[in-house]
Structure 1
């Protein structure tokens, strides 16, 4: 039985329904993770959970210790990673409340510690990253979304920006021109670090707002929080179905 790790993003700082909780206070060669890794059961299966931004939500996306997070999950016994991300919608199909299981990504971040292969190395290591998301995990997410009857897209390009500010309307035009369907701030380097650790990784993205310039009004946190309030419960149902399946 595969031991899945769930990385919770904005709105998912705890996994309601998780039982037999055991907090693991792990240190890593890269410092402490965002929060203790929680080991327990969810949907009748063993699971690990980590709040990407800490609990309470306090670490901005550009300051998340992604290397420590992934290392700690691997040390705790994770064999696959399901990541939850709140994103903005660029493509017209990506309205608020819509789910997307991205198949590709473009990294626009800078200055983040983005690899384990750095420092005094015996040899240079390159990992293939042509297809950043694990196909089998993606299909499990897609099947779970379809079974729950939620509105979703079974593919999409995730554009990862630096944050913590939201994008300008002109930047979103550029992202759209580059082929991005959704935009978030936490998809990288998380995905490539999982690849470097040989951890299958897939992402469940919840669109919480139209990207900048896609509506006449400004983007408000009240709008985002309202979508999260409904969408996170749906996301938990999807994750439970993936694990139970």
Structure 2
């Protein structure tokens, strides 16, 4: 089943026939919002608002573990996220869409990064953190719709909630990052730990602050103004995707834990057994 995680400005899915709204309790606390289960075309889908239904959660306040766990518990095996991003490349213009294939974690340790620890040791490979099948599928539909989209880029995730300094912006550029954002880490890595295929559609809202012209530096107001304008592209793209068959799931993602766990099942307590059963589905 496909799940959509809506970012800034995406608090519901237009065109989705709602079947039920679920309040999910997880071993890791409450998700950002209730999860809507519905149908779009021939697909059964799940929808979760990353920042909450009223955008009340800052990026470092989001309970990423609860979000991913709740979606997995309800049957998600593939996730498409929607995110506002800053561009660190001149050719990725504000209003363009982009799909990261790589991530650079520049957060500051305020976020819980993993399901594991506290008696369960695991080291999941994230050399290729994104589902290549989802990325190609999204890019192909964007091309058919003549929507400008940049695939296979690198997303640098910063802590926030403040916007970055020019020195930080240049550092991320020199580190090989093409986009900067605040929310995809640890979301992308937790999805891999939950054996879920994951990809993000990033909506470029600005050039961050690396350009010499101060008039082109990012402000919160400019982010949201352009983001609202660009959401139509993303929702058009989503509608096209959901009218088509889903891409195949990669077996190496759907079995990621089989090569990652070091702790034997016999060492799990009853609660750990229960939530590990969900992650292994």
TM-score class normalised by the smaller sequence: over 0.9
**Which has the larger displacement, 59-68 or 91-100?**
91-100
Shift of 1:237: 1.4
Shift of 1:236: 1.2
Shift of 1:29: 0.3
Structure 2: where are the runs of 5+ without partners? Answer: 245-281
Shift of 1:135: 0.5
Provide the rounded CA distance (Å) in 2 between the counterparts of 1:179 and 1:105: 10
Residue of structure 2 equivalent to 1:180: 177
Larger Rg: 2
Residue of structure 1 equivalent to 2:146: 149
Residue of structure 1 equivalent to 2:38: 40
SS in 1 for 2:214: coil
- TM-score, normalised on structure 1? 0.95
Shift of 1:79: 1.3
Shift of 1:221: 2.7
1:75 matched to 2:73? yes
- What's the CA shift string for 1:101-158, capped at 9, x where partnerless? 111110011221010011122xx21111001100001011101111111111122110
Q: 1:83-232 residue pairs with structure 2 within 5 A?
A: 83-109=81-107, 110-121=109-120, 124-214=121-211, 215-217=213-215, 218-232=217-231
Provide the rounded CA distance (Å) in 1 between the counterparts of 2:175 and 2:62: 26
SS in 1 for 2:184: coil
Structure with bigger helix share is: 2
Maintained 8 Å contact 1:43/1:241: no
Residue of structure 2 equivalent to 1:64: 62
Residue of structure 1 equivalent to 2:22: 24
Provide the rounded CA distance (Å) in 2 between the counterparts of 1:130 and 1:229: 33
Maintained 8 Å contact 2:7/2:84: yes
Provide the rounded CA distance (Å) in 2 between the counterparts of 1:84 and 1:21: 22
Maintained 8 Å contact 2:89/2:207: no
Maintained 8 Å contact 2:90/2:207: no
Maintained 8 Å contact 2:18/2:36: no
Shift of 1:194: 0.4
Provide the rounded CA distance (Å) in 2 between the counterparts of 1:243 and 1:6: 11
Provide the rounded CA distance (Å) in 2 between the counterparts of 1:48 and 1:225: 25
SS in 2 for 1:94: coil
Provide the rounded CA distance (Å) in 2 between the counterparts of 1:229 and 1:85: 12
Provide the rounded CA distance (Å) in 2 between the counterparts of 1:67 and 1:52: 12
Paired residues in the alignment total 241
Q: CA RMSD in A?
A: 1.1
Shift of 1:213: 2.9
Shift of 1:229: 1.7
